[in-house]
Chain A
């Protein structure tokens, strides 16, 4: 149980375009989802926390107008990178916390999306 599906796994886009990444909880309801970004050979950096039905909370230094997060249902959160530039090229990973899990242990990660902006 507790599977998180992330799509697409890889995307290449032109500079200036927008890209949407989806994160779905397949067998549980995710009340909270987290989006991370990871540059090569570096750690995961938390970008934002999204709660179903409310606005996302962004970490310091993350532009909320550039990284739009929508968590409209208990099984789907989306991250849209708007007006992407080459410096936005990175590995984006989502994580979901389900409301069925009694403990905080219930965090599951998606498989990540490799974004390349050319």
Chain B
């Protein structure tokens, strides 16, 4: 496997503030990345994706930034809402395979 999560970092933000969640990936050959949101007891939900030929992609209230030089991804959530409270994972996919490997994850708590 690739990146393996050993613990879960936490992030607390006030409702209405912007959130930035970071992820370091391990395989320089990975060419496709997805951010997932996982609520307690549920499977991951797709948020946004980005290919390695891009460095930024925007969705509704979310932006993903990719820095291939340092193998780093970030997820920015604008005007964070209580419903955004969840665990967020980045997942990387290698050009040579179908598998997705998940990063450590970050637990986001939005304070009303």
A residues with CB within 8 A of B: 4, 6, 32, 34, 36, 41-46, 49, 59-60, 91, 93, 95, 97, 104-105, 107-112, 114
Q: Could you say which residues of chain A place their CB within 8 Å of the CB of B99?
A: 34, 46, 49
A33–B72 CA distance with the chains assembled, in angstroms = 27
B105: nearest chain-A partner, CB-CB: A43
The residues of A that contact B41 with a CB separation of less than 8 Å are: 91, 112, 114
Known pairs A59-B1, A60-B1, A104-B32; A45 contacts B42 (CB<8 A): no
Of A6, A32, A49, A97, which contacts B43 at CB under 8 A? Answer: A6
Tell me which residues across on chain B come within 8 A of A45, comparing CB atoms: 1, 4-5, 102
Q: B25 interface residue, CB < 8 Å from A?
A: no
B43 touching A93, Cβ below 8 Å? yes
Say what secondary structure dominates the interface of chain A.
strand
Q: B103 contacts which of A4, A43, A46, A108 (Cβ < 8 Å)?
A: A43
Interface assignment of B53: CB less than 8 Å from any CB of chain A: no
Determine whether the beta carbon of A111 is less than 8 Å from that of B100: no
CB–CB B100/A95 < 8 A: yes
On whether the beta carbons of A46 and B1 are closer than 8 Å, the reply is: yes
